Amino acid sequence: MAPIKISYVVSFSSQDPKYPAENLLSEDGVRPWLGCPKKHSKQLSVELQLERASPIGYVDIGNYGCAFLQIEVGRSSWTCDQPYLTLVPTVTLMTPADSKLDQNRYGVRMFKEGED
C-alpha cells in the first residue's frame, strides 16, 4: 500500500515557532514539530487530516525526544461526540534513563497491523 499524504494540520496543543506543527507535512527531509519551550507542556497533541479516507496498515513515526506515543484515528464525517479509536496504544519511545541522560532521543518506530 502506498503512503497516504497528510493534507493539513487541523489543530495542535502547542508549538515552537521555529519548529511548527506544519513541519509534519514536510516531504523533504526531517523537520521536527516541537512544543513551545516557554510552556513546558508534558503532553502534546496534534490532529492531522489525511488526503483521503483509507485503511491504515502501518505507520512510521520519527521520534525527536518523545517519551511516549499514542495514535488515535477517526473520520471527519463522525459527529463531534464520537470518540476516536485507538490505532496504536500508548507505547514507550524512550526509557526514563534515556530521558534523564538526554540520549537516544532520535529514531524511527514502525507500527503495523496486528503488532503491539
Q: Where in the chain is the domain with CATH 2.60.120.260?
A: 56-115
Asked if CATH classification 2.60.120.260 holds for the domain at 56-115, the reply, yes or no, is: yes
In terms of DSSP bridges, do strands 46-50 and 6-12 run parallel, antiparallel, or are they unpaired?
Answer: antiparallel
Cβ-proximal residues to 116 (8 Å cutoff; 6+ apart), any chain: 89
- Summarised one tens digit per residue, pLDDT across range 11-69 is 999 999 999 999 988 877 678 888 888 887 778 899 999 998 888 888 988 888 888 99
pTM recorded for the entire structure: 0.82
Give the C-alpha separation, 33 to 35, whole Å: 7
